[in-house]
A and B are shown apart, each in its own frame.
Chain A
């Protein structure tokens, strides 16, 4: 393989990986802190895409502003979801939590998809580009949208890193994922942390959908691909761990990029799924760690 092709594959892999990380981190956060197998995660990606579309096209807002608006909108949607859906479940019964929460998200997914359908119709809501330009990196031409989306993802991930590692609230989120009773005993309001965590997860998904609007338009069933991709990354990296999801996202992005080159599209998917099967056979806890102890620390 010549260096130019290698550079091309590396670049594509990293760009893809960045967005995978964004989605996977949101999912890992929700599973790691709230113990919810979130199967409506893709719908928040779509929500972000719709919000960005209307902000950009209907209200003619600046692309960055549109993306920020979409992120905030997804955050609020996450707050509402936790308060209306998971909070009542937590109050009612802690038994069979994992299956109950999962079923809730499965139902939520169906409801949201059809809400989108009723509200916006089946039309694809897409744009040609936020920024009508192409950027040359290492001799390869990439659309500006894709590059900027990557940097937005990096920024969001860096912000999440600092938030979890350095701030009081971030520390509280980590604590809740490790020992809920301990968290209660130091004065942490569990419900507030759960709501915040879900809102952050939804915001990251919405940010992804908004950033990639030109590449994946908003439509009611557009959440399936991002959902599968994020679950793939999270399962490979180790469920419910954010640091693992960050590394895992880039690994998956690069893996897909290289296997696409060598195997073509159809077989690329076989390669990805084979990787998953092998991992689940020999290291079911994922690539990182023998035991997930915390949402952040590996």
Chain B
């Protein structure tokens, strides 16, 4: 698992959070900017997912495998869920819903890295 990708995902997640909160403050729904930011975040997460799956197939195993796999699969679903759910929200809270999803991803990728790096210990 690449720490660089975790940093990239964190940056993308922070942008999603900021854009989401911004549209709530400006009393707007979510728009193209949110879709693009969430799309970039999703792309980074998918690249990381593939790299991790390749490493797992190659025989690497984090100690808490079950927890790790649960995080790995859930984290790629969170931006999708956040986008879908914020698109169907007509009030200005749509952005905050997306921001929650972004924040969840931001926390999960670091937890994922922590679980993965426990391998070396």
- Do A and B share a complex? no
Residues of A within 8 A of B (CB): none
Please give the residue numbers on chain B whose beta carbons come within 8 Å of chain A beta carbons, in ascending order. Answer: none
